[in-house]
Amino acid sequence: MLDVVLEALTGLGLSASAGLNAYIPLLALGLLDRYTGLVDLPASWQWLSNGWVLAILLVLLAIEVVADKVPVMDHVNDVVHTVIRPTAGGLSFGAASGAKTEMVTDPGSFFSSHQWVPVAVGALVALCVHGVKATARPVINVSTLGFGAPVASTIEDVFSTAMSLVAIVLPVLIVVFVAAIVAFFVWVRRRRRRRKLEKAARRAAAAGPADTLRLPADPGTGLRR
């Protein structure tokens, strides 16, 4: 039973991490499998630890790290990764559900038969987190005149890296990371609602007397009543 819970938390953490940065959790799995004993990927996922695959992931990671820190370009990057991040989340969850880690010694206990299920679950989780990220970035950019983009992106990268490692080494703490993402989403929603109300108030104040009700002129005098 414990392995079932830990396996689910590991997959959840890795796929949520992919929603912030598509390549960090895949690199974490590949590098830890290749160079340490913390991860033991099953035969069907050994390609993740291939040297060429790791090199390609590193290049893609470098591109995203740079693009995500430039205002406007970060929005384009989020649009492009609307497909890539859920795909990476599905791959991360799928690999984790069949891998042995320090905490999960009986992989496959959670998704024992339907191998497509963890991939689908991981893709959905990553898509949800990606949605939070893509929604928050315009709010941050507008609020900080673009200066917050590199800061927010750096925090996301660090958060994604920490979440990937924690998901593998100590998955019980993933609950804390998920709670932080939910709290951030609530903050973004409130911030967007507040900005809309402020815009509406400014428009109403600017319109002011210009939009006061104009009564028709008196036919006899030509003067407005």
pLDDT at 201: 77
Q: Residues in the chain with pLDDT < 70?
A: 1-3, 102-114, 208-225
pLDDT at 193: 83
Distance CA 16, CA 86 (A): 9
Q: Which two tokens stand for residue 108?
A: 């496959």
Q: Which two tokens stand for residue 151?
A: 């800061």
Distance CA 28, CA 44 (A): 17
pLDDT at 72: 86
By C-alpha distance, which of 1, 25, 13 is closest to 172? 13
By C-alpha distance, which of 176, 179, 123 is closest to 11? 123
**Three-state DSSP class for 217?**
strand
pLDDT at 45: 87
pLDDT at 211: 52
pLDDT at 55: 97
pLDDT at 25: 95
By C-alpha distance, which of 114, 142, 154, 111 is closest to 24? 154
pLDDT tens, 104-135?
666 666 565 567 788 899 999 999 999 999 88
